[in-house]
Structure 1
Amino acid sequence: MKKNNIVLVGGGSTWTPGILKAMTTHLNQFALNRVVLYDVDASRQEVIGEFAKILFKEEASDVEVVYTTDKEVAYKEVDFVFCQMRTGGFDMREKDEKIPLKHGAIGQETCGPGGFSYGLRSIRDMEEMVRDVRRLSPDAWILNYTNPAAIVALALDKIFPEENKILNICDQPVNLLRSYSKLIDYDVDKLEPVYFGLNHFGWFTHIYDAFGNDRAPELKEIISNGGFRPVDAEQRDQSWLDTYAMVEDMLHDFPDYLPNTYLQYYLYPEYKVKKLDPNWTRTDEVREGREKKVFAECRRIVENGTAKDSKVVHNDAHGDMMVEVAASIANNERRTFIVMVRNEGIIANLPDDSMVEVAASLGANGPHPYAVGHIDTFYKGLIENQHAFEKLTVEAYIEKSYTKALQALTLNRTVVDAKKARVILDELIEANKGYWPELKK
């Protein structure tokens, strides 16, 4: 089995320790030669980088571990790029969440105006990353998890239409499948999902077990009668527990399919705004929770010189997914994953240029998506509206168009009102100086 060289972009993230742990536990499936952590924030990178060296010394001592802020080092001669950058860090995420809430709109990092704001920041750095990787490692696979993944995926498809080694993925479908498997006490690896939509905007229509039985009706009944919690509920912040609990409400109103949790922001925007605190958002919760916990644990491990007694650092759905996706490509395993691909008829009655999220087999030549066919009017209408928002957002970036940015926000179901959209847009422009292109009226 070939040993791969990996670069993890956004190496100073709190999610990085879980990915690294997943790498060490999947070495028989995905062999490694070198792991490079790359981040533009040297102070965050050093803490996670020193932890990484200890982890691999104890669990995979033959793997070289490097951390750097130099992209010339990071991207040279790599086989896979795991990308999870956060342009602007938590300071800009806080603005993404709090500015819309101040004006009575959803404040969330990937949905609504917050996702729009984050997306316009992410596109620039993602484009630069792709060009740098292609210069230094022309044949590398780029596995992108950078949010908001829907906007990023559409932008990369527009900017690099001939690229066939960029794969945009999200762990929320995997998190949901793991939670479903716990509810029915069934091995998640033996479940076969049928899924359609856009990223953070989709539905499970069927979930088959190894014998071909559709377990979706059973799951809907369990959730409708007993609620829904994530499989790792004891490790989640309260906002995530509230998010999963809303699945029961969505099933009550729209019982056809099992919804992605993020749909609550689009289906119940007024209700959600009333439940969100404009002075204490998810950013504050992460800073006080996961951020402090993960960095404190990594510092403790570095000080003690061992990670063997750590109960905080473990491979989770996010880390397992990243490594298993890479392994399926590297070993031509053709396993099924839910990924983002250009539609081109997969969902027959949606635009061909939309980046849909569907199940696909994944091997050495990339994803081979499974056809969905026609979808019903309600879901088609929702998706077409969201696709129009995403497309106008990308065009606003490429064309530096204020008008298209305003159109995008006005279309978004979490905003709707054009006067509100303009007020939010103008404040986001001011907040994002130096990150966004200058939008021309």
Structure 2
Amino acid sequence: MKLTVVGGGSTYTPELIDGFARLRQTLPVEELVLVDPAADRLELVGGLARRIFAKQGHSGRVVTTSDLDAAVDGAAAVLLQLRVGGQAARQQDETWPLECGCVGQETTGAGGLAKALRTVPVVLDIAERVRRANPDAWIIDFTNPVGIVTRALLKAGHRAVGLCNVAIGLQRKFAALLGVAPADVHLDHVGLNHLTWETGVRLGGPEGEDVLPRLLAEHGEAVAADLRLPLPLLDRLGVVPSYYLRYYYAHDEVVDELRTKPSRAAEVAAMERELLAMYGDPALDEKPALLARRGGAYYSEAAVDLAAALLGGAGSPHQVVNTYNRGTLPFLPDDAVIEVPAAVGGEGAAPLPVAPVDPLYAGLMANVTAYEDLALDAALRGGRDRVFRALLAHPLVGQYAYAEQLTDRLIAHNREHLAWT
């Protein structure tokens, strides 16, 4: 079995490699191809990948290349984890929205739109080349903003599923708090990518006992601290929102914080420099502890599980993924991309039934879905007016004066990546 990782020079990649090595019985990879245009980074990451495989006794071959067409030729699955514009573009995404009093973040709000506009055309070009090389290949998208990118792939007819590590991260944290194995924790996870709520935490299976009330009663302080949201709010809601909901529930507080501290992009860039220096050490043969602070925790386990299920292996039959709504949430269009538990197999991902959603969450989902529709239109067709409409629709922007200013800044900072400018 051949798997390809596009963006293989990412500092994330050793996390993925570690999962492939540990979980080789679940996903028996014979050839793993890392493709990236950044040859220097790719050499460092590829060398560490080979050492990790060797240390853990994995017999698979790790290949590095900058030739995308050769990399995807014959691949059973292609994982996308690219960042168009690199950390420099992320730094901009997190900075110029703050000039207008709006959240500066790389996957949501104005910064998230900028990333979508840069990313969607590139991803669609890659996907077309994958389809030409192997029409049956699966595309697993970890590239943010996952919801918009996955919707672009699905609308273009690609065999694609979106993946995020928020659900598996919460599953692991809840399991630790409850003193049970992660496999025993099943989440009633509902929403859109980076806009989700845990409305139930079940032990033993999807129909098991809901212990969310007990979790909040006994461990609410720990959960709230991790989300950086007040415990009384969680008690009133009776659910656990993802940490991305803080951008909505505490917008002004977050803006004040972001204005007074270094950007996350700057922190990540510094970590990446340190990580790449580590990766160049020929004695290093495991992922370093610092990588946990880089982000993407448990991504490898989620990716292996998803790829194995799609390719007919030993992956879990039920997984939280991003895929078409198909009537699952009746207040959203069928072709909206939602993030919910789904039955995953060789034919793809089919959302499992979801309990009726409280209007408090359904309303925000509908609003952001409308924004994502406009954002995808802007990414596919370009034009200042389409960018303005998407920004005006986003609940983190919403005012026309902000939308006008943000449109100008977005275009000015991304001109080199926007073919229509």
**TM-score with structure 2 length normalisation?**
0.93
Identical pairs, percent: 29
Aligned partners of 1:335, 1:197: CA distance in 2, in Å? 20
Q: 2: CA distance between counterparts of 1:296 and 1:217?
A: 45
Are 2:49 and 1:25 aligned?
Answer: no
| Mapped partners of 2:286, 2:15: distance in 1 | 14
Q: Is the Cα–Cα contact under 8 Å of residues 392 and 408 in structure 1 kept in the other structure?
A: yes
Note closer, same or farther for the CA distance 1:298–1:247 as it changes in structure 2 (3 Å cut).
farther
Would the alpha carbon gap of residues 226 and 81 (structure 1) be closer, same or farther in structure 2, given more than 3 Å must change? Answer: closer
Q: 1:121 and 2:118 equivalent?
A: yes
Give the secondary-structure state (helix, strand or coil) at the position aligned to 2:301. helix
- Is the 1:349–1:375 Cα contact (8 Å) retained in structure 2? no
Contact residue 193 and residue 207 of structure 1 kept, 8 A: yes
Pairing 1:87-126 to 2, within 5 Å after superposition: 87-126=84-123
2:342 is matched with which residue: 332, 357, 360? Answer: 360
2:204 is the alignment partner of 1:222: no
Stretch moving more, 205-214 or 107-116: 205-214
1:397 touches 1:437 (CA, 8 Å); kept in 2?
no
TM alignment of 1:234-245, pairs within 5 A: 244-245=227-228
| Structure 1: runs of 5+ lacking an equivalent | 230-240
Per-residue CA deviations over 1:382-409 (Å, capped at 9, x if unaligned) read 1111011111011112232322211211
Which amino acid in structure 2 is aligned with residue 376 of structure 1?
Answer: D
- From the superposition, tell whether residues 250 and 17 of structure 1 become closer, same or farther in structure 2 (CA, over 3 Å): farther
Of residues 324-333 and 265-274 in structure 1, the stretch that sits farther from structure 2 once superposed is 324-333
- Cα shift readout 1:329-348 (whole Å, capped 9, x = no counterpart): 22164521111111121012
Shift of 1:266: 1.6
**Cα distance 1:177–1:227, how it changes in 2: closer, same or farther (>3 A)?**
closer
Q: Which amino acid aligns with 1:259?
A: P
Q: 1:430 to 1:226 in 2, by over 3 A?
A: closer
* 8 Å Cα contact 1:337/1:360 also seen in 2: yes
Looking at structure 2, the residues matched to 313 and 361 of structure 1 have their Cα atoms a distance apart, in angstroms, of: 31
CA distance in 2, matches of 1:360, 1:387: 19
Instruction: Supply the distance in 1 between the matched residues of 2:240 and 2:403 (Cα, whole angstroms).
Output: 31
1:428 lines up with 2:410 in the alignment? yes
Inter-partner Cα distance in structure 1 for 2:323 and 2:228: 29
Equivalent residues in 2 for 1:2-81 (5 A)? Answer: 4-60=1-57, 62-81=59-78
Distance 1:121 1:223 in 2: 41
Q: 1:223 to 1:61 in 2, by over 3 A?
A: closer
- For residue 349 of structure 1, what is the aligned residue in structure 2? 331
Separation in 2, partners of 1:285, 1:169: 24
- Taking structure 1 as reference, are residues 31 and 120 closer, same or farther at Cα in structure 2, changes over 3 Å only? same
Which residue matches 2:137?
140
- The answer to whether the 8 Å contact 2:305/2:315 transfers is no
Which residue of structure 1 aligns with residue 358 of structure 2?
A: 376
TM-score, normalization by structure 1? 0.89
Distance 1:119 1:157, change over 3 A: same
- Give the Å deviation of 1:437: 3.5
Q: Deviations over 1:116-143 (max 9, x none)?
A: 1001111011101100111112211111
Letter of the structure 2 residue corresponding to residue 347 of structure 1? L
d(CA) in 1 for partners of 2:230 and 2:112? Answer: 21
Amino acid paired to 1:246: L
What SS class does the counterpart of residue 167 from structure 1 fall into? strand
Structure 1 residues 141 and 250 mapped into 2: Cα distance closer, same or farther (>3 Å)? farther
5+ unaligned residues in a row in structure 2: which ranges?
none
> In structure 2, how many angstroms separate the alpha carbons of the residues matched to 1:309 and 1:288?
17
Distance 1:310 1:386 in 2: 37
- Report SS of the residue matched to 1:409: helix
Q: 1:297 to 1:247 in 2, by over 3 A?
A: farther
Matches within 5 A, 1:287-298: 287-289=269-271, 291-298=272-279
2:306 to 316, 319, 325: 325
What does the per-residue CA deviation read over 1:321-367, in whole Å, with 9 as the maximum and x for residues that have no partner? 11111122221645211111111210122222211111012112211
Give a deviation string over 1:184-233, Cα, whole Å, max 9, x none.
Answer: 1111111122121110001111111017211111122234344446xxxx
Q: Provide the C-alpha distance between the structure 1 equivalents of 2:163 and 2:286, rounded to a whole number of angstroms.
A: 31
Contact 2:120–2:152 (CA under 8 A) maintained in structure 1? yes
Indicate which of 183, 192, 196 corresponds to 1:198: 192
Query: 1:116–1:432: structure 2 CA closer, same or farther, 3 Å change rule?
Result: same
**Are 1:388 and 2:382 counterparts?**
no
SS at match of 1:32: coil
The match for 2:234 is 251
Displacement of 1:95 after TM fit? 0.4
CA distance in 1, matches of 2:231, 2:278: 35
Contact 1:297 1:312 in 2 (8 A): no
Asked if structure 2 preserves the Cα contact closer than 8 Å seen for 1:38 and 1:67, the reply is yes
Question: Which residue matches 1:232?
Answer: none
Aligned to 1:153: 150
Read off the aligned partner of 1:224 and give its amino acid letter.
G
After superposition, the CA RMSD in angstroms is 2.1
Distance 1:200 1:50, change over 3 A: same
Query: 1:438 and 1:174, CA in 2 relative to 1: closer, same or farther beyond 3 A?
Result: same
CA gap of 1:311–1:388, structure 2 versus 1, over 3 A, is: closer
